[in-house]
Amino acid sequence: MLVRQLINLTNSEIQELVKILQKVNVVQFGSFTLKDGSISPVYIDLRILPNFPNEFKAIIKLTSKYIKRSRLDEEFDGIIAPPLAGIPLGAALALELEKEFYLARIQQKDHGTKKLIEGNIRNKRILLVDDVITSGISKVPILKTILDHEGILAGLFVFVNRINNPQDQTNLEERFDLSLTNLLCLENLLKLA
C-alpha cells in the first residue's frame, strides 16, 4: 500500500482553486440526490469545467503542480478515469503530467473490441482519477476492473472529497489497499462560497 500522499495546499492556493471553480459555478445550492442516494443541499458539478477552457486549463495546471510538489506523480505510471466527469479531468491531468491515460468503461460493449479498458495496464501502477467522492461506492466497479486487468492500484485521486463518514474512506482504502488523495474538500468550497 502507498503511504498516504497528502497534497498540502496553503490557504492562498486553496483560495485560488476555489475562486476559479466559483467563477464557472461548479458549486450549486438546492436539493440534490447524490450518486450514493443521499440528499444534499450542495452539488459539485465538475463536468462543466471543460466548457470553460481557460479555467479548465488553470485547474489542471495547478493540480499538476501540486501533485508534482507532493511527489505523488512518482507513484504511478498511468491514469484511468471513469465516465463521465472523470474522463476529461483524468485525460487532461495525464497529458499535463506526461503520464499514460487509459479509457475505461462502466460496462462492456457488445460490439467493437468489447474491452472494458482501452490499452494494456498489466503490471502498471494505475492512479484512478475522478471528480468527486461521496461514499466511494461508485468507485468499486472500476477499481475491481483495474485489478481484473492485472493493473496495480497506485491510489485514488479526486478533485473534491465530500465524504461525510470517515469510515467510508477507511473501508475503501482497506478493501483495495490504496490511499485516497484529494485536492479539495467540500468545506474548502463552502467556506469561500
Residue 165: is its pLDDT beyond 80? yes
DSSP string, 103-140: EE-SS--SSTT--SEES--TT-EEEEEEEEESSSGGGH
pTM score of the predicted model: 0.93
Q: What is the mean pLDDT of residues 140-167?
A: 95
User: Would you give the end-to-end CA distance of the chain in angstroms?
Assistant: 36
Can you tell me the distance from the alpha carbon of 39 to that of 51, in angstroms, rounded to the nearest whole number? Answer: 26
When pLDDT is cut at 50, 70 and 90, the band that residue 4 belongs to is very low
The grid coordinates of residue 98 equal 506526461
Domains recognised in the chain with CATH numbers: 11-191 (3.40.50.2020)
When pLDDT is cut at 50, 70 and 90, the band that residue 6 belongs to is low
pLDDT digits (tens, 9 = 90+) for 94-112: 999 999 999 998 777 777 7
pLDDT score for 2 = 38
